[in-house]
Structure 1
Amino acid sequence: MYMKIKRLIDTILSLIGLIVLSPIYVILIIAIKFDSRGPVLFKQKRVGISKTHFNVLKFRTMRIDTPKDTPTHLLNSPDQYITKMGKFMRKTSLDELPQILNIFVGQMSIIGPRPALWNQHDLIAERDKYGANDVLPGLTGWAQINGRDELPIDVKAKLDGEYVEKISFRMDVKCFFGTIVSIVKSDGFVEGGTGVMKEVESSKESSSS
C-alpha cells in the first residue's frame, strides 16, 4: 500500500520541485555554459528497477573528453577532468537536480538506492543479495546518509538492503532530512572515492601494528 502512496508523493513533490527550483536551474545552466565547453546536461545509462536500464540526468560536471561510462573512482587523477563549476556542484549535490525529472516520469524515486552504472556489476550483484534492485532507485537513500562515497561496495549494498527491508514513510522522511544534514556538513563526500572508509581503516591498522 505504501508503495502506491510513495509514487504519488514522488510525483507531487517532483512537480513542485521543478517549478520552485527553476530559478536555480537557470543560474546553474548559465554558470555551466560560461565555465566550460560542452552541453549543460549529462546523460548516463544506469540500472533502474528490476535491473532495467534508463538514462539518468545530471548537470555536466566534467570535461567533454572524460572517458565514458567510467566511475569517477576508477579514473586516473579524476580532478583533471572535473570543471571548476563541477567541483562545486558535486560537493553540494546540485549536479543531481535534473534527476527530479527522472523522478517525475517514474524512472526514479526521491528516496531509494542510488542507481548503479550499467557496468558496475559488482555493486549490482551485491544488491541482488538484499533485493535492492527490486525497488526504484533514488535521488538519495539510506546509504547516502551513512557514509556516501566512503562506503565500500559490500557495505553500501547492505545498507540499501536495510532500506528495502524497512521501507516506510517514516524511513523516507528520515533519509530526506538526513540528506539535508549530510549535504550541509559535506559528510561522506570524497571526490572520486568509493570504499575510502575501508582504506583509511586499513591504513590505521597498518600504522598501529
Structure 2
Amino acid sequence: MEIEENLNVAAFTGLENSVAAQSKPFYLLCKRITDFVLALVGLILLSPVFLIVAILIKWDDPKGTIFFGQDRVGKDGELFKMFKFRSMYADAEERLANLLEYNEVSGAMFKMKEDPRITKIGACIRKCSIDELPQLFNVLMGDMSLVGPRPALIREVAEYTSYDKQRLLVTPGISGLWQVSGRSRLTFAQMVELDLEYVTTRSYWMDIKILFKTVKVVCKGDGAY
C-alpha cells in the first residue's frame, strides 16, 4: 500500500533520474542474494539469542508483546511493517506526544537520550543494537536490505522536503552510511546527506565495507540510544 497523497514521493529533485540511469541490475541481484542468504543464516545462528531476549522482555514488562511492529515508509513511498524487539513500555506511543518538546535531534526525527519510555532491558538491547535483529525477517521478505537508508516513520516523511524524500529512492536498510558515521550524534541534515551519498554511489563493495564497519560500531556501542 502506498502512503497518502500529501506524502507523495514523486516530488523529488533531479536525483531520481540519476538513480534510474544507474539502476545496476547485476549489483541489485547480487545485493538481494546476499541479503537473503545472510539474513537466513543470521536468523538460524541467532535463534538462541532471540529466545533469551524474548524471556527478558516479558520478565521486564509482562504487559507488552515481545516484538514491536511499526509502519515504516520504504522504497518509493510504499508502507511496510518493520519489526523490532520491544524496548519500550507498552504505552510508549501514547506517551510520545508529551515528550516531543524534549527532542534532541533537529528535523523530522525524534531522539531522546534519557527517554523514560525505554525499559531496563530495552536500554541494554538498544545499546548493543540487539533490538534491531528481528529486521532480518524484513530483509528475508524483501522490504528491507542489510544496507540502505533507515526506513522512516510516516509522521517523519510528512515533514520531509522534496530533497529529503530522495532517501526513499532505494530499499531501506538495517544499517547504512550514517549509522557507521556517528549514529545518533548526527543531525538530521547530516543523516540525509550521508543517505543521499549512499543512494548515488552505492555498490556491492560499498555495502560490504558498511557491514564490516557496522560490526565494529555495534561492538563499541558508540552513539546508540
Calculate the aligned-residue CA RMSD, in Å. 2.1
Contact 1:58 1:99 in 2 (8 A): yes
Matched with 1:165 is: 200
Matched with 1:41 is: 67
Moved over 6 A (4+): none
Number of residue pairs the alignment of both structures matches: 188
Task: Please give the alpha-carbon distance, in whole angstroms, between the structure 2 residues aligned to 1:27 and 1:82.
Answer: 19
Please point out which of 114, 117, 120 is paired with 2:150. Answer: 114
Task: Please give the alpha-carbon distance, in whole angstroms, between the structure 2 residues aligned to 1:134 and 1:143.
Answer: 16
Task: Please give the alpha-carbon distance, in whole angstroms, between the structure 2 residues aligned to 1:69 and 1:101.
Answer: 28
1:136 aligns with 2:171: yes
Deviation at 1:150, TM superposition (A): 1.2
Higher relative CO (Cα under 8 Å, sequence separation at least 6) belongs to: 2
Question: What's the CA shift string for 1:148-178, capped at 9, x where partnerless?
Answer: 1111111101100111111111101111011
Task: Please give the alpha-carbon distance, in whole angstroms, between the structure 1 residues aligned to 2:205 and 2:52.
Answer: 34
Deviation at 1:186, TM superposition (A): 1.9
- Unmatched segments (≥5 aa) in structure 2: 1-25, 103-111
Question: Does the C-alpha gap of structure 1 residues 64 and 125 become closer, same or farther in structure 2, counting only changes over 3 Å?
Answer: farther
**Match for 1:148: what amino acid?**
R
Percent identical residues: 40
Question: What's the CA shift string for 1:64-101, capped at 9, x where partnerless?
Answer: 11125959x83757532110000001111000000000
- Unmatched segments (≥5 aa) in structure 1: 192-209
1:7 aligns with 2:44: no
Question: Does the C-alpha gap of structure 1 residues 68 and 57 become closer, same or farther in structure 2, counting only changes over 3 Å?
Answer: farther
Task: Please give the alpha-carbon distance, in whole angstroms, between the structure 1 residues aligned to 2:94 and 2:85.
Answer: 15
Q: State the TM-score, normalized to the length of structure 1.
A: 0.83
Question: What's the CA shift string for 1:167-207, capped at 9, x where partnerless?
Answer: 11110111101111111222222x3xxxxxxxxxxxxxxxx
Question: What's the CA shift string for 1:112-161, capped at 9, x where partnerless?
Answer: 00111111034574433xx3211110000001011111111111011001
Matched with 1:127 is: 164
Q: State the TM-score, normalized to the length of structure 2.
A: 0.78
Which residues of 2 match residues 38-117 of structure 1 at below 5 A?
A: 38-68=64-94, 70=96, 74=100, 76=102, 79-117=115-153
